[in-house]
Amino acid sequence: MDLNYIDEGKILKIFTYPSPILKKIATNVEVFDDELKELCRNMLTTMYDAPGIGLAAPQVGISKRIFVMDVEFDRKEVTAADGQTKYEIVDRKPLIFINPVIKNKEGQFKYEEGCLSLPGIYDEVTRAKKITLEYQDLEGNKKEIEAEDLFAVCIQHENDHLDGVVFIERLSMLKKNFFHKKLVKRKKMYSDSP
Ligand code: NI
C-alpha cells in the first residue's frame, strides 16, 4: 500500500473500556469495496497517530473482523521549523488482516501488553509463541502467514478484540477486577467533568 495514501486518512475516535462495542463479537467482512479500503486506511492513520502497533475495527466502533498492524515502525526525533521537537513515524510496514482465523498455536511467549482502548494499563500476558494465520487482503484474496514472538502476540491480541475480549481478561481474576475498577472509576471521572 502507498504510504502517502495512509497519511491522507482520517483519525477515528478510539473507544475505551468498558464501551459495549469492545464486548461485541464482530462479523465477517463480505464486501471488498472502496468503503473497506477507506476504513482500513483510516484505521492505519489512527494507529500511527496514537501511536500503537495494532488496532482492531471494534476499537473504532466498527464491529467487523478487521485489524491493522505494524510491529516494525520507528519514531524519529525531528526539529520542526519553530524549534520544537516532534516525532515522525519512519520505516513503516503496514499490514491489514481481514476475516483472520488463527489456525495453529505453538509454544508460550510472555509479553507486557498494552492497548489503545485501555490507556495506562500494562501487564504481562502469556500467549502462543508461534501461530499460523489465515486471512483475506483488501481484494478478498485468501492468504496465510506464520508469525512468531511479538508479531504473534500482537495478532492474538488484535484477534481477541474481534471476539469481544480485551487483554485484561487474559489475566488472573484478581488483576482483572483491579484493572476493571480502575478503568471504570477513571471513565466516570472523565465523563463527570465538563
Ligand atoms: Ni488492544
Write out the E strands in the chain. Answer: 54-56, 66-69, 74-79, 85-90, 95-106, 109-113, 123-127, 130-136, 142-148
Give the distance (Å) from ligand 1 centre to CA of residue 55: 6
The predicted model gives 50-64 an average pLDDT of 96
Give me 151's grid cell.
508479531
pLDDT band with cut points at 50, 70 and 90 for residue 2: low
pLDDT of residue 191: 66
Distance from residue 145's CA to the centre of ligand 1 (Å): 21
pLDDT in tens, 93-115: 999 999 999 999 999 999 999 99
What class does CATH assign to 4-192?
alpha beta
- Phi and psi dihedrals of 98, rounded to 5? -115, 135
Tell me how far apart the alpha carbons of residues 16 and 131 are, in angstroms, rounded to a whole number: 28
User: Mean per-residue pLDDT for 19-23?
Assistant: 96
pLDDT-based confidence at 23, cuts 50/70/90? very high
Give me the sign of the Cα torsion angle 71, 77, 78, 82. Answer: positive
Q: Residue 143 Cα, ligand 1 centroid: separation in angstroms?
A: 23
Say how many Å lie between the CA of residue 10 and the centre of ligand 1. 19
Q: Which residues sit with Cβ closer than 5 angstroms to ligand 1, an ion? A: 115
Name which of 64, 121, 131, 125 is nearest 98 in CA terms. Answer: 64
Query: Measured between alpha carbons, how far is 180 from 169 in angstroms, rounded to an integer?
Result: 9
**Average pLDDT over the chain, rounded to whole?**
92
Kindly give the distance from the C-alpha atom of residue 182 to the centroid of ligand 1, in angstroms, as a whole number. 17
* Backbone angles phi and psi of 102, in degrees to 5: -80, 120
Please determine, for residue 190, whether its predicted confidence score (pLDDT) is greater than 90. no
Residues taking part in catalysis: 158
pTM (predicted TM-score): 0.90
C-alpha cell read off for 68: 491493522
Structure-block grid coordinates of residue 106: 505453538
**463527570: which residue's cell?**
192
Q: Are strands 66-69 and 123-127 parallel, antiparallel or unpaired?
A: unpaired
Q: Which whole number is the average pLDDT over 58-76?
A: 93
Q: Beta-carbon neighbour count of residue 22 at 10 Å?
A: 21
